[in-house]
Amino acid sequence: MKICKTPKEMQHFRATLSGSVGFVPTMGALHEGHIALIKRSVAENDHTIVSIFVNPTQFLEGEDLDAYPRKIEADLKICELAGVDALFLPTPLMMYENDELAIMAPKVKGFILEGASRPGHFDGVLQVVLKLFSITTPKRAYFGKKDAQQLFMIENMVKHLFLPIMIVPCEIVREPDGLALSSRNVYLSTTQRKDALLLSKSLKKATKLIIEGERDAVKIKTMMEEVLSPTKLEYVEIVDRAFNLLEKVETKDTIILVAARVGTTRLIDNMWV
């Protein structure tokens, strides 16, 4: 497995690859969720590039940029075993200029839900993903449905900028009890982990209500909020696949999203109905 530490090195290596290239951008501390994306890319492409970059521009002031878990040795082994061709490990200095080009998330869909809780977050996400796409020029790029709004923002960017890249959405990988895997789960104490489980429990509750015939978004959200009451809830929302808020659930076109803090750890989860 080739390790590339600079954009130039990565671009040179990319130029030696013939056939299809799959790309999996990550912030590292790899878990089974990331591994599922990597394995899918390895299965569907002639070559796979994984990036590990804790991107400072998508963190807000006071967020966990410095504390974000870093496990580079373990990540390297995971990628090697999974059959990754190249690992791209840039530093912020190599990725950004002083007077940097501004990339802005769309004014409406980029500033609701995650964008409202974390203003500017999606500007940073789109900025880094566009740079990573330019460096790796993949045929396909793999993203988790876990970050549903991020996935939507990136699909939109690719569409708006006519980028010749196929975005492949991948299912959420969960612990056996339902907790969505996240690099941030390592912050949770044993008792906090129990409360963290309430996010997926609230989504299961919503699914049960929908199966029973409930379609009213307010009623579903109220029941979910009850389940989530021990957490510091940021939002529960029901949207269609284009992130328009819904009053009534439309099956096969709905995403139910939740964001909450457990202790100081901010967690998100969602369910595609």
262 touches ligand AMP (CB under 6 A): no
Nearest to 150 by CA among 183, 127, 166, 134: 127
What is the closest distance, in whole angstroms, from the C-beta atom of residue 125 to ligand AMP in the complex?
9
Which listed residue (34, 47, 121, 160) is catalytic? 34
115 touches ligand AMP (CB under 6 A): no
Tell me the β-bridge partners of 25: 51
Does position 90 interact with ligand AMP (CB under 6 A)? The reply is no
Q: Which two three-digit tokens encode residue 29?
A: 């501390």
Helix, strand, coil tally for the chain in percent (to 5): 45, 20, 35
Is 34 assigned a catalytic role? yes
As a whole number of angstroms, the distance between CA 122 and CA 127 comes to 8
Instruction: Give Cβ neighbours of residue 67 (< 8 Å, ≥ 6 apart).
Output: 187
- 4, 17, 37, 260: residue in contact with ligand AMP (rule CB under 6 A): 37
Of residues 14, 23, 26, 82, which one binds ligand AMP by CB under 6 A? Answer: 26
Pick the piece of the chain touching ligand AMP (CB under 6 A) from 2-10, 30-38, 95-103, 104-112: 30-38
Whichever of 26 and 231 has its CB closer to ligand AMP, that residue is: 26
| 144 contacts ligand AMP (rule: CB under 6 A) | yes
Q: Give the residue closest to ligand AMP by C-beta.
A: 144
Question: d(Cα 66, Cα 167) in Å, to the nearest integer?
Answer: 29
Select 44 or 147, whichever has its Cβ closest to ligand AMP. 147
172 binds ligand AMP (CB under 6 A): yes
Whether 229 contacts 245, CB under 8 Å: no
- Sign of torsion over alpha carbons 247, 249, 255, 258: positive
Taking CB under 6 A as the rule, does residue 146 contact ligand AMP?
Answer: yes
Residue 258 sits in the site that holds ligand AMP (CB under 6 A): no
List all residues 6 or more positions away from 27 whose beta carbon is below 8 Å from its beta carbon: 52, 53, 54, 55, 68, 183
Based on the shown chain and the rule CB under 6 A, indicate whether residue 141 belongs to the binding site for ligand AMP: no
Q: Residues in contact with ligand AMP, total (CB under 6 A)?
A: 17
Sign of CA dihedral 116, 133, 50, 99: negative
Where do contacts with ligand AMP occur on this chain (CB under 6 A)? 26-27, 33-34, 36-37, 143-144, 146-147, 170, 172-173, 180-183
Query: Which of the residues are catalytic?
Result: 34
